[in-house]
Structures are given as structure tokens and as C-alpha cells.
Structure 1
Amino acid sequence: MYRSLFPRDLFAEMDRLQREMQQAFDLSPSIRGLGRGGFPALNVGGTPQTVEIYAFAPGIDPATLEVQLDRGLLTIAGERKSLLPEDDSPSTVHIHERFAGSFRRVLTLPEDADSDAVDAKYRDGILHITIQRRASAQPRRIAIQ
């Protein structure tokens, strides 16, 4: 009944160009967390007692992960090996969306984070880092006399 003035391919092309521009200038985060320097994707939050960091890094050998805490900076580094065929293989890859290679993420921690009370666990592709807050920074109830 009604015809569109623009074919659907034009809108698809505009959408593709917009995504490429955002990736080129890193204007907005990607839903996959794969923006420039964005692997592994992170969730950072906390409770009054802890700072909680979740790094989503599937397919990585935990022995290759390196977590360092130095002067309030937390560094997560490692490498994910490529599962693509070797260059001399006769196979062809049509789509390659999975990140492979070395990565490094650096986070600034809050001042009340206790660098002596850090726990890191890797399970099911998720690195979970828990950092205790200093006892002096904990909320406490003051008794009124």
C-alpha cells in the first residue's frame, strides 16, 4: 500500500557507518565491551565493606592472567590465544568477532581500598576480584550518651 522513499539497504548502510564511526572515535561503549581497550568487559561495584570487580574473560587459561595492585591502581593483564586456523591452512574465515591477543585493563581504586586484603578467583570465564575496604573507612554507629 505505502512505499518507503528509501530502500532498507540505505538504512542498513547508515547504521553500519555509524557503528564504524563510533568504533573509530570510541564515542560509546559496545554492548560486548569490545571498544578500544575494552577487553575483558568489566563490572565494578561494591558494598560498604568491599570493592567488587568482575572481569568477563572466557577462554583464557587462568595461569596466563596477571593481577597487580600498586598505589591504588589495579591492573588486569593476560593473553587469549586465537582459535583461527594457521595462515598456511587452506581454510577461509568469513567472520571473526572474537578478540584474541594480549590485553591490559587498569582501574583506579577508591582511597579506602585495602591493598593488603585482596582475593582473586577465576571460574567459568569470570575473574572475580574482591578488595576489602579499610576498617577506618567502614560506616559505624556512634552511641549517643
Structure 2
Amino acid sequence: MYQRLFARDLFNDLERLQREVSQAFDVSSSIRGQGRGGYPALNVGLSPEAVEVYAFAPGLDPASISVDLDRGVLSLSGERASQTAAKPENAGASGASVAASDARSIVHQNERFSGSFRRVVSLPDDIDPDQVQARYRDGVLRVTIKRRAAVQPRRIDIH
């Protein structure tokens, strides 16, 4: 009755199924949605002079961000208010409520993070807790923690 033109390869079908299942449960970072690390996204870098932590958090009020350093652990916390309008409760019940709902938009999908956040970073033992600076500019929080001078590598001349 029904005959295939090409033989099916069971292993190719299983590989395709595995790819589809992996994509369905994928939590890797992408342009749409939150990555594996949470909000805000962090970059942490070390140099001989300092530890640099960059938190990418556009649209926040710097006063709503808390930066704490306690026993070698840096904590970044705060809150981002929701920017979306609430859906009218009686939308569609009467002509007046429909006209009122036309004045504001109804959100069907919201991918922007809102709410409280907290990120914690363990720091090396050689940091100087008295030498910490935090700056927020263009949506990026930059925290610089100087390292102790005695621990920094140095070149020793041979005479």
C-alpha cells in the first residue's frame, strides 16, 4: 500500500528527537529571555591591582541598588519596578470601559525583568575591604575592589 521512497534511519530520528527535547528545556542565555545566571547579568574580572564586577542592569535608579561587602562576599541587591500597565478589570463590559481600555496598552508578553533581585559573588582573600568603589552609568553598575599591595606580584632585580 504505502511504500517509502527512502529508508528511515532510526538513529537520525532519535538524534532529531533529542535535539528537539533539548531545545524545549534549554535554559542557556539567548536574546529572548533570561540567561542561566539570573538578573542582572554579571561579568567578573581579576587584575593584579583589583577585582572588577560589572552588573548589567539598565533602567534602574541607582538609589534602589544596594552593594554590600562582608567577609569576602559581595552582594548586589535591589528592585526594579514594573513598567507595564495593569489590565482593566471590566474591559469589554460596556462601551465606556472599552474606550477607557483603549487609552492604555494591554501587555500580552513581558520579557523584561521586574521585582527584587540579589546576586552574590565570592571574592579572593587578598581584597582590601576599605578600597571599594561603585559607579552606575549607562545601565552598568561597576564595582571595583582594590587588592592589597603586599600580595601583588612584583619583579625582583638580581644584582
TM-score, normalised by the number of residues in structure 2: 0.71
Which shows bigger deviation, 127-136 or 35-44?
35-44
Q: Which has the higher contact order (CA 8 A, sep 6+)?
A: 2
CA shift, 1:86, in A, is: 2.0
Aligned residue for 1:22, secondary structure, equals coil
Equivalent pair of 2:86/2:106 in contact (CA under 8 Å): no
Number of residues of Structure 1 aligned to a counterpart in Structure 2 = 128
Counterpart CA distance in 1 for 2:29 and 2:109 is: 18
User: Which residue of structure 2 aligns with residue 52 of structure 1?
Assistant: 52
CA shift, 1:87, in A, is: 4.1
Which shows bigger deviation, 126-135 or 79-88?
79-88
User: Which residue of structure 1 aligns with residue 136 of structure 2?
Assistant: 122
Q: Which runs of 5+ in 2 are unaligned?
A: 1-7, 9-15, 90-100
* Residues 2-21 of structure 1: pairs in structure 2 closer than 5 A: 18-21=22-25
Counterpart CA distance in 2 for 1:22 and 1:119 is: 37
User: Which residue of structure 2 aligns with residue 79 of structure 1?
Assistant: 79
Greater Cα radius of gyration, structure 1 or 2: 2
TM-score, normalised by the number of residues in structure 1: 0.78
1:144 maps onto 2:150 in alignment: no
Equivalent pair of 1:37/1:103 in contact (CA under 8 Å): no
CA shift, 1:19, in A, is: 4.4
Counterpart CA distance in 1 for 2:24 and 2:78 is: 27
> Quick one: percent identity of the two aligned structures?
54
User: Which residue of structure 2 aligns with residue 111 of structure 1?
Assistant: 125
What one-letter code is carried by the residue in structure 1 that aligns with 2:29? S
Aligned residue for 1:136, secondary structure, equals helix
* Residues 14-33 of structure 1: pairs in structure 2 closer than 5 A: 18-23=22-27, 29-31=28-30
User: Which residue of structure 2 aligns with residue 8 of structure 1?
Assistant: none
* Residues 62-73 of structure 1: pairs in structure 2 closer than 5 A: 62-73=62-73
Q: Deviations over 1:104-143 (max 9, x none)?
A: 0000001111111000000111000101001111111113
Q: Which runs of 5+ in 1 are unaligned?
A: 6-10, 24-28
Task: List, as ranges, runs of 4+ consecutive aligned residues in structure 1 with deviation greater than 4 Å.
Answer: none
